[in-house]
């Protein structure tokens, strides 16, 4: 049998670690001390600043804006982007752990950070000019500038190639944008929006196909740009969701992201965001699981803590198992992402699975809590409702099924 | 944020690896080259020697004995035990990968190896005298001597503490065993059996509790020892399963495993075996998944390969997702086992999950195959039937639920 | 073979009926024309009066009080009680169909009617004096008087035998009540409450066991009686839920329900209510299914209505199947209830199943709706949230599992 | 509210009935005494003649031919066809109950009866000449003549429109058949086969489309007709399954079924058979449930019957619930079938659901039985394996999903 040693001492958990209390599958053994430290600092922030106030914000339907500056200080925005642009320069596992901890607070908080980092800072970083990067990234890292991401359109939720928004190039090289975007997180509070549009070059008249799609950096105070909050949400209530309307929005020539090109560019952003969601959903699941465990130990019925009954033990064992598997998925994905050996299909698998199991865990936790489980003073039902948004956004569960199906069989079944 | 480096360069996948075809989540990135080499050599053996003949053996209800010697040469028996006793001295991940590949052939083949290695060689290694080790292990590593494990009793399948078999010490220090064991893999072809019994010391009359349990090495030609094959199995048909009857079986004083003591000792053996099962069940699942993928690409219905239909893509995506998660569970468990930071509860989680998802995958693969799926010339239904045994043995699914429930809540709900 | 004819021309669907559009399993064939007429009249009321306003009430957390009088006119309160007390005198299938249609509007609306009819009017009818019946029932049938039902206590949600509230008989035969009740639908708007308490007869000091439980009719303006709305509900938001506090509430001797006796009496009320819930949950499920079907036909993605894709067809087929089965359960139960051949265990089976499948259907409908599915202008997510309360109240899912388990095995596994 | 009385005293359960022991949802209340009598007589036959011998036949892979004559005497073959052709002239509920009881024995026994009655006798009855009916039906009713049904072809399992078998009309009006059929129950023991083929009229050369399909009555001793048993089945082992090969099979002009015309004709046969399967699968489920209940009461573990543990109670409660719902589905379907108000889509719903739940119930029953659950001396695993065939044949689960999806949405998603 082969005896060669792999270049890296591949996949060796820290030997000193016996499982931490509650870490029943010793997941920590797969993390470096540095990674655990990042996670723990965000965990403290969430415990101290988010959990005490999030229920009230959720019921009232408001985003807790006062947390933005502190999140910026913690370094959570665009945390895996380089320090030279004011970012934390962390690896992708650390970035993922941050998302996990934020969503342990609320999916709305994590969504804010995902949009800011993966959907606005990332494309500016990846597709922007050096000037754009220097201008926007440091202020976004601190939270001074808030961003939003304009891709989804009312009639093309799962099919961005069908985009209608158009950017027409003017004779002087400047641009005029028209269109509408929907389901835009942070839309009404953003200072800047990365808007995706089909571009029509000066002299052309026909709108082209998805290959003409380019990104634009649009300050939200540009005339013709409007955001309108979507009302009546029964999910992600501690998050702002808006429609964007662009009517003859005039932009200078340098508003375009120069290295963006084709639908592939926004899809690369989605891959970044989905990666973070795969971690974030686990945070929501962990919050529910921990709430359920605690409740099961304290709530007495028929003279025993309910955690001593078989039915609840099965429920909890199933929750734990799914969380652990989701953690190992995201961790493996993060390692591969750091090494450049990951694929969008791997991200689809992790996003689809982790959000799905989180919705089940939230529901089962809520049920274990009995009547109390419907109250905002507990977290499980809030997470259960939030996760329905997460299930649908950034590629619905079904869309990811078909992405995986195509990867497996070689056949597209979208149409 | 913290900057200290963890002692091991923990969990870094091999950077050069882009995913191998079919390895859609790049699991190979988590393995060393040496580990992949071990896996691939057993895979070849299974492809060449097991798959062509196993369906016939299954239908006829016979174990393919002619494979034993070659398995011995490959080093699969007790592969994680030291070379000084004639074993392969592999790490636990390599050991697990061997189990995976063997069960990709058939659960009966893997069961043979599990019993030989984890349930007979391991207790001799862990609890035996140096003499016992030197006598038995090398011949068992080659397959020259076949072993079986006598723990389970007819009325105490999930409750070994209720054991009835008794070993009474005689005045001269020798032993006399009486009792019956059931569901004994390899029982009728074994040369040696490790039998667990409650011991009654000379001079005592009362049978004690589970603390008196000790292991005995019993050559199967000892007078009073009989094995009787269990008939009418609809699962694990390519494996021998027997009842053992012990009537006044006289053993010398040195037949006892000197370091065994209490129920804990056989439970440690079960932990070894369950660890291997967690990998093995994945092998069965992989076999079914690969058969289903292949079938879905080739079987045409309504003018398309059925793999191009959404319903089958969802089925395949779900299978893949569960396999990948199971692999990461067992891999993490193996790493922790190598480092000594694993717990029996972790093994319970992995065994319970991996067997459970394998039963679902086998069923869904069979269904994707349509009418052909009921034939022994395909593998899926054979695996589906086999896995029901695996679901039940070495701790039923329910028992592992309660082990996990106890770990989570601190309360026992067994009774 | 036997040739005798059964006394009733048992179970013959109306022969003229081809399935109505949307009634894909021809459930209507199992209903009389009279029953369909009752259903259709309540359906119209819900379509015209409830659906246009319920989303707003839900978001704002208010019960639509203006509907009470019209519901009274329609005869929905205590509809299966006799006409001599001002009620509609309908059979139990008609009663069930009313519950179905009301909950097609909202679980909060149906809950109001369930409490009024099954939990307040029913016990007054079943356990009350003729005077009590004549005094309360006609005004409750019209909705002029609103009732609530005080059984559940903070620490004994699933174990009413553990009740703490006590009614102490005074020397003059009058009563003094002390205690607290929780999760009381209609609590803050009720004029009258049926409160259950352990009774201590004059001269006794010790509080007895569940056999001493009796019901009391308590006008809510009695001094010492207070109701406090429970805040922060994320479910049943268009319904009032309160805590009741009873501090030295003095009641005359004739406040007791004379024929009530022991825990069995409130359990009989729960059986009535659960029967209605089994129908009601189907109404919520039907609302979600119909919304999903309609959406699937109109929402275009990848150039087809999404209802033309296999994934959505499977989703819809599963929903339909579960609804149809639930309808047949409740219908059979209603027939048996009319004939006096039903058991509480049958009600447990139907309540448990129908609520459970409704929660799944609501969730899947929401998911089919994509992003729109989180908005209150659609019904599915509102139902999804509501049904979590319904899953928990009137015997949680788990409690009904154990009721059925006991009926099947003869063993109690509650403790 | 409406007061008109429905024409039939629709859906009134027999009032005298309190639930029979084990009939926990009082399903018997929905049956006439005559219907219960038919069921009970077949139940006795199965208890006395089938259960004692079926395990052995299953293991050995043989059909118990000695039962055929007695089944004929009992009147189970074509039991819903008229007495004038020697049949029992029962209603469709009685017919369904017979299928339920036969499959309580084994799916192979019920399959034999389904093929004989619904797939051979029915098309002769529905599409045959008076002469054909008088010739074949009485002998088939007694079992003297055994039939098989040749529709399915190797490459068109779920798409019979793709049929390749051709019947070419000769100048003298006689026919020559060529082709192959697969998965033919009773194929090797049949005396007569109803074979479906695309017909090419004398003078034509091109094979037409599905509108040319006609049925032929083919005595199996006709030269050129061969049947070959399919080997290696891991399901339906107590049933013969064959391939048919037709090489220049010459048939007289009157071998054609005169009223058959187009694919619709064999599909009508499938609807008959599927109706019976919907009942039959319940029989298998009932057998497993009853075995599990009995085992749960007798098997002691940790000092209690396992039926006293919550985990097993949940398992049993779920089984019971699904069986009861399936029974109500089939009963309602049978009532509508008797009245002529049923549709093929209703049959799809019931077949799909009932087989599906039966596969789950069989699996869970097997699991409850622990190690014993893999033995042929118990019934559950045999049923579990059998039901996989039933899941696939007569329209796979997936095909019925799409039939329902089309009924719901109006869109075909087969291609």
Inform me whether the pLDDT recorded for A143 exceeds 70.
yes
Inform me whether the pLDDT recorded for C12 exceeds 60.
no
CATH T-level fold of A147-255: Butyryl-CoA Dehydrogenase, subunit A; domain 2 (2.40.110)
| pLDDT for D11 | 39
3-state secondary structure D115-149: HHHHHHHHHHHHHCCHHHHHHHHHHHHHCCCCEEE
Rounded to whole angstroms, the Cα distance separating B190 from B178 reads 19
The reply to whether C69 touches chain B by the CB within 8 Å rule is no
Backbone angles phi, psi at A183, to 5 degrees: 60, 45
| pLDDT for B211 | 94
Cβ atoms of C320 and C364 closer than 8 Å: no
Beta strands D192-200; D213-219: pairing state: antiparallel
Inform me whether the pLDDT recorded for A127 exceeds 70.
yes
Q: Which residue has the tokens 């094979």?
A: D207
Inform me whether the pLDDT recorded for B363 exceeds 80.
yes
Count Cβ atoms below 10 Å from residue C243 Cβ, excluding itself. Answer: 17
Inform me whether the pLDDT recorded for C159 exceeds 60.
yes
| pLDDT for A21 | 73
Q: Tens digits of per-residue pLDDT, A59-80?
A: 999 999 999 999 999 999 999 9
Coil vs helix vs strand at D270: helix
The CATH superfamily label for domain A264-409 reads: Butyryl-CoA Dehydrogenase, subunit A, domain 3 (1.20.140.10)
- Quick check: B301 and D398 CB within 8 A? no
| Mean per-residue pLDDT, A277-299 | 97
Rounded to whole angstroms, the Cα distance separating D32 from D40 reads 12
Q: Tens digits of per-residue pLDDT, D232-261?
A: 999 999 999 999 999 999 999 999 999 999
Query: If you average pLDDT over every residue of chain B, what do you get?
Result: 93
C225, containing H or E segment: strand C225-229
- Predicted confidence band of residue B389 (pLDDT cuts 50, 70, 90): very high
Higher per-residue pLDDT: B279 or B415: B279
Coil vs helix vs strand at D349: helix
Contacts of A399 in chain B (CB under 8 A): none
| pLDDT for A19 | 63
Q: What is the ipTM of this complex?
A: 0.94
| pLDDT for B3 | 28
Contacts of B311 in chain C (CB under 8 A): 310-311, 314
| pLDDT for A18 | 55
Question: In the numeric block, which tokens belong to residue B371?
Answer: 């009418």
Backbone angles phi, psi at A81, to 5 degrees: -95, 165
- Quick check: C234 and A304 CB within 8 A? no
| Mean per-residue pLDDT, D363-375 | 97
Q: Tens digits of per-residue pLDDT, A334-360?
A: 999 999 889 999 999 999 999 999 999
Domain ranges for chain D, please list them.
27-142, 147-255, 264-409
| Mean per-residue pLDDT, B388-392 | 98
The reply to whether B88 touches chain A by the CB within 8 Å rule is yes
Contacts of A37 in chain B (CB under 8 A): 1-2, 4
Backbone angles phi, psi at C256, to 5 degrees: -70, 150
| Nearest Cα residue in chain C from A237 | C374
| pLDDT for D159 | 82
| Mean per-residue pLDDT, B46-63 | 97
Task: Kindly report the nearest CA distance between residue D195 and chain C, in angstroms.
Answer: 32
Query: If you average pLDDT over every residue of chain C, what do you get?
Result: 94
Rounded to whole angstroms, the Cα distance separating C269 from C128 reads 13
The reply to whether A314 touches chain D by the CB within 8 Å rule is yes
| Mean per-residue pLDDT, D30-47 | 96
Q: Cα A165 to the chain's mean position, in Å?
A: 24
- C160 burial type by CB count under 10 A (0-12 exposed, 13-18 middle, 19+ buried): middle
**Cross-strand partners of A192:** A147, A219
| pLDDT for D19 | 63
Inform me whether the pLDDT recorded for D14 exceeds 50.
no
Inform me whether the pLDDT recorded for A135 exceeds 60.
yes
Inform me whether the pLDDT recorded for A4 exceeds 60.
no
Q: Tens digits of per-residue pLDDT, C246-283?
A: 999 999 999 999 999 999 999 999 999 999 999 999 99
Contacts of D159 in chain B (CB under 8 A): 301-302
| Nearest Cα residue in chain B from D381 | B234
DSSP state of C233: B
| pLDDT for B4 | 28
- Percent of chain C, pLDDT > 70? 95
| Mean per-residue pLDDT, D44-68 | 97
- Predicted confidence band of residue B155 (pLDDT cuts 50, 70, 90): confident
Cβ atoms of D334 and D385 closer than 8 Å: no
The CATH superfamily label for domain B27-142 reads: Acyl-CoA dehydrogenase/oxidase, N-terminal domain (1.10.540.10)
Contacts of D296 in chain C (CB under 8 A): 409
Inform me whether the pLDDT recorded for B191 exceeds 70.
yes
| Nearest Cα residue in chain A from C359 | A363
| pLDDT for B156 | 78
Q: Tens digits of per-residue pLDDT, A82-101?
A: 999 999 999 999 999 999 99
The widest CA-to-CA distance across chain C, in whole angstroms, is: 80
Rounded to whole angstroms, the Cα distance separating B317 from B306 reads 14
End-to-end CA distance of chain B: 48
Q: Tens digits of per-residue pLDDT, D297-332?
A: 999 998 999 999 999 999 999 999 999 999 999 999
Rounded to whole angstroms, the Cα distance separating B230 from B234 reads 11
Backbone angles phi, psi at B168, to 5 degrees: -100, 125
B153 Cβ contact list (under 8 Å, min separation 6):
B160, B162, B163, B164, B165, B179, B180, B181, B182
Task: Kindly report the nearest CA distance between residue C394 and chain B, in angstroms.
Answer: 26
Inform me whether the pLDDT recorded for A17 exceeds 80.
no
Which residues of D are the active-site residues? 394
Cβ atoms of B93 and B163 closer than 8 Å: no
Inform me whether the pLDDT recorded for A10 exceeds 60.
no
Task: Kindly report the nearest CA distance between residue D252 and chain C, in angstroms.
Answer: 40
Task: Kindly report the nearest CA distance between residue A45 and chain B, in angstroms.
Answer: 14
Rounded to whole angstroms, the Cα distance separating A364 from A370 reads 10
Rounded to whole angstroms, the Cα distance separating D97 from D327 reads 10
| pLDDT for B379 | 98
Query: If you average pLDDT over every residue of chain D, what do you get?
Result: 93
Beta strands B175-185; B225-229: pairing state: unpaired
Q: Tens digits of per-residue pLDDT, C63-121?
A: 999 999 999 999 999 999 999 999 999 999 999 999 999 999 999 999 999 999 999 99
Rounded to whole angstroms, the Cα distance separating C110 from C108 reads 5
Inform me whether the pLDDT recorded for C374 exceeds 50.
yes
**Cross-strand partners of D217:** D194
The reply to whether D12 touches chain C by the CB within 8 Å rule is yes
Rounded to whole angstroms, the Cα distance separating D370 from B158 reads 9
| Mean per-residue pLDDT, A215-231 | 96
Contacts of B290 in chain A (CB under 8 A): none
Inform me whether the pLDDT recorded for D1 exceeds 50.
no
Q: Tens digits of per-residue pLDDT, D155-172?
A: 877 788 889 999 999 999
| pLDDT for D162 | 85
The reply to whether B180 touches chain A by the CB within 8 Å rule is no
| pLDDT for D384 | 98
Interface of B with D in 184-243 (CB under 8 A): 230, 232-236
Cβ atoms of C174 and C168 closer than 8 Å: no
Inform me whether the pLDDT recorded for D271 exceeds 50.
yes
Task: Kindly report the nearest CA distance between residue C267 and chain B, in angstroms.
Answer: 29
Inform me whether the pLDDT recorded for B15 exceeds 50.
no
3-state secondary structure chain B: CCCCCCCCCCCCCCCCCCCCCCCCCCHHHHCCHHHHHHHHHHHHHHHHHHHHHHHHHHHHCCCCHHHHHHHHHHCCCCCCCCHHHCCCCCCHHHHHHHHHHHHHHCHHHHHHHHHHHHHHHHHHHHHCCHHHHHHHHHHHHHCCCCEEEECCCCCCCCCHHHCCCEEEECCCCCEEEEEEEEEEECCCCCCEEEEEEEEECCCCCCCCCHHHEEEEEEECCCCCEEEEECCCECCCCCCCEEEEEEEEEEECHHHECCCCCCCHHHHHHHHHHHHHHHHHHHHHHHHHHHHHHHHHHHCEECCEEHHHCHHHHHHHHHHHHHHHHHHHHHHHHHHHHHHCCCCHHHHHHHHHHHHHHHHHHHHHHHHHCHHHHHECCCCHHHHHHHHHHHHHCCCCHHHHHHHHHHHHHCCCCCC
User: Structure pTM?
Assistant: 0.95
Size of interface B-C (CB pairs under 8 A): 9
| Mean per-residue pLDDT, B247-259 | 98
Rounded to whole angstroms, the Cα distance separating C9 from C15 reads 13
């Amino acid at each position: 049998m082969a005896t060669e040693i792999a270049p890296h001492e591949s996949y060796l958990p820290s030997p000193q670690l016996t499982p931490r209390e509650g870490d029943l599958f010793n997941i920590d053994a797969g993390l470096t001390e540095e990674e655990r430290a990042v996670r723990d600092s965000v965990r403290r922030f969430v415990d101290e600043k988010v959990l005490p106030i999030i229920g009230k914000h959720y019921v009232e339907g408001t985003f807790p804006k006062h947390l933005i500056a502190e999140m910026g200080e913690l370094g959570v925005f665009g945390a895996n982007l380089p320090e030279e642009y004011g970012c934390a320069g962390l690896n992708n596992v650390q970035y993922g752990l941050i998302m996990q901890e934020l969503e342990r607070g609320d999916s709305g908080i994590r969504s804010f950070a995902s949009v800011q980092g993966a959907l606005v800072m990332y494309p500016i970083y990846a597709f922007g000019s050096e000037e754009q990067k220097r201008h926007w990234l440091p202020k976004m890292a601190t939270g001074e500038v808030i961003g939003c991401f304009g891709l989804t359109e009312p009639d093309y939720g799962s099919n961005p190639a069908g985009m209608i928004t158009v950017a027409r190039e003017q004779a002087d090289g400047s641009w005029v944008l028209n269109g509408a975007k929907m389901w835009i997180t942070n839309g009404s509070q953003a200072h800047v929006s990365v808007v995706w549009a089909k571009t029509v070059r000066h002299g052309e008249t026909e709108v082209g196909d998805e290959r003409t799609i380019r990104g634009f950096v649009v300050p939200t105070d540009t005339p013709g740009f409007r955001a309108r909050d979507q009302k009546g949400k029964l999910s992600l209530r501690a998050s702002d969701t808006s429609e964007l309307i662009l009517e003859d929005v005039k932009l200078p020539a340098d508003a375009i992201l120069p290295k963006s090109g084709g639908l592939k560019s926004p899809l690369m952003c989605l891959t970044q965001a989905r990666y973070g969601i795969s971690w974030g959903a686990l945070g929501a699941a962990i919050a529910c699981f921990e709430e359920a465990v605690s409740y099961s130990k304290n709530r007495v019925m028929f003279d025993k803590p309910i955690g001593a009954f078989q039915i609840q033990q099965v429920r909890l064992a199933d929750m734990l198992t799914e969380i652990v598997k989701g953690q190992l998925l995201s961790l493996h994905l993060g390692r591969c992402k750091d090494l450049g050996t990951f694929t969008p299909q791997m991200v689809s698998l992790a996003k689809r699975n982790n959000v799905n199991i989180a919705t089940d865990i939230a529901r089962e936790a809520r049920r274990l809590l009995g009547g109390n489980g419907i109250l905002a003073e507990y977290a499980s039902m809030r997470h259960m409702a939030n996760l329905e948004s997460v299930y649908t956004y950034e590629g619905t569960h079904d869309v990811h099924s078909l992405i995986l199906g195509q990867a497996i069989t070689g056949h597209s079944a979208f149409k």
